[in-house]
Structure 1
């Protein structure tokens, strides 16, 4: 299933994309895609619903992030060997983890705002994992059974804040609007092999990133298991799993986002995002 949340920011309702590409209102069956509603067992019950009986949502209605109630937004750094090389970083022996703030999450087509005093705002297409059930000390062999589904993430990053201001990477990762998710939460059963998904990102119509989840250093099962050794993952938590090469920081000379730029990105089977870059708004 392709699950969505639609409506104005902060007032989204749950929906489902039917086979014709129409969003159907699912709010008569589930309050929101959060908490226990993300458990794979619960999601399986939604498959029996007759979609033709659900009211269609007007075309052009805003799509919000496809998951609600996220407590932890965890990111994995340098998880593609060729991306590590382009940024002149060593290949990690264990996953590099950092936090993005949950309140930086926005819809897939919402504006990306350049932060105040930013000089190096950058892009990163990534596969995001949405946790479906409470996860602690899970084995790799059981890890994927704890996943509700997958979605596209743009791990927007401010490189000067991240790399030049000391301390944790999160300084450049959790700024307002820096976490577009969606358009859909594709349930795990629809993905035959999560480690064979093509991904891409364009800036102003120019293809800058082109890769595949096949080249991850640490795969999804490894990451979910690894992270659960250090913290409890709750339903609705999001793990964004790293980016292939082609980020602005790695170009020669480096290229960074400016107001008026347009970003398009997508992952095969998970849909596409489109963002307009805007200047800081007080």
Structure 2
């Protein structure tokens, strides 16, 4: 029987680049919003882009590229039709006498590599890039119009995409722990808010949905805790995230949603 290969997240834990708890949080986030685990770990601040790329480069045996540090010339972009760039999820980023440097999310995809080499009639050198950067780069390219693809264009697209997603609970708790706010309020119909000097300040984010609030509650609760909350309609508990801190959480069942208040418990040494 063929031995099952360890997944990227498991390898990152094995090599000490992330913790088991961080992987669990990232996998939970992935189940909710989709995407590749590497890009989610970057989004959640558990690993840097450069650290992930260095690791992938060693594991896959190919160079890596950070698209947020590159400006790609239009003549290079024109090497492949935009429809192939979109469907194959590849991006030519350089060309010289030896061939074409091709950014890929999966540089081991030999079928795609062979097809690109056949299309170009040139040798291709694959380099690995994060999937979120690839998606952002493709969205930045307008059909039929090739201009310089700048790092700032890709970064802008990444920020746009990030705004569409509700912030993950880890990001919110990190913010609360670092701020001077007494509480964070998570309620459907308004953005995440903090309470500072008895004033409620709303974040410049999208309004939360009932589904967002339920997800936050489930993420912080054990299965037993969730069962208790469902029976009672309200629940107070404490939760600890080793990398962030300890928090007191109050849940209250509203008509069609859940209201959440979170307080950071400062450690006294």
What TM-score does the superposition give when structure 1 sets the normalisation length?
A: 0.20
Q: Kindly name which structure, 1 or 2, has the bigger radius of gyration based on alpha carbons.
A: 2
Structure with greater helix percent: 2
What TM-score does the superposition give when structure 2 sets the normalisation length?
A: 0.21
